[in-house]
Amino acid sequence: MFRPFKLKAPYFEIGPKVYMHGDEALDLALHADALCRTFGVDIIFTAQYTDISRIAHETTHLKVFAQHMDANPVGRGVGAVLPEALKQAGAVGVLLNHAEKPLSLSVLNETIRRADEVGLATLVCAATVAESAAVAVLEPNMVLAESPALIGGGKRSDDDALEVERINAAVRAVGKDILVLHGAGISDEHDVYQIIRSGADGTGSTSAIMRAADPKDMLSRMIEAMSRAHRERTTD
């Protein structure tokens, strides 16, 4: 875990994947940066490698993450994503072990240690309670709990709400400093509200934002709902 990295609840992660790049991605990132100021929340923007430098240098509050990273040392490795290069480009963290970029446990451990070494926070994906607990043992900064069945547009159920509590408990039993972000199956601001009310301190979305008629409007509605749900939950 890269301990200097700080994130406060409630927090949100936008994962553009390869839906957006260049000017369009920057435009959404600037809007997200403004929402950080308006609502006083932390937002992670998981950019494509080629957009990291531009977004990092043109935003103030946004936490720019890379979508993946390799554990290679400086030297040989054609096509590898070097941790030092991500750091120098302006990234403050990296997403690891996504369902579309899975890593074995040994490689994941090595990659987290390399991120720690260069000063990058780690957001590590896990699909179940057991996987979340296993990932937590590796001491990332954050566990991103995402059921593969929900990624890309699945519908959340009452059992998924109970899973929030189970995963939170499993991760915190391993390390109280490890943050948990619950994602997948977030189709609109109502899902955001419900998952935060269920006990999540953070959530995120890709498809619902990227495929919306107005991505910036959808993001605004989600951030407002997250902020409101967290405020209500903490004052109940």
Q: What is the 3-state secondary structure (H, E, C) of the chain?
A: CCCCCCCCCCEEEECCCCCCCHHHHHHHHHHHHHHHHHHCCEEEEEECHHHHHHHHHHCCCCEEEECCCCCCCCCCCCCCCCHHHHHHHCCCEEEECCCCCCCCHHHHHHHHHHHHHHCCEEEEEECCHHHHHHHHHCCCCEEEECCCCCCCCCCCCHHHHHHHHHHHHHHHHHCCCCEEEECCCCCCHHHHHHHHHCCCCEEEECHHHHCCCCHHHHHHHHHHHHHHHHHHHHHC
Q: Is 146 a catalytic residue?
A: yes
Q: Exactly one of 13, 68, 98, 182 is catalytic; which is it?
A: 98
Active site residue 98: yes
pTM over 0.85? The answer is: yes
Choose the catalytic residue: 146, 163, 182, 230: 146
Which residue stretches of the chain have pLDDT < 70? 147-161
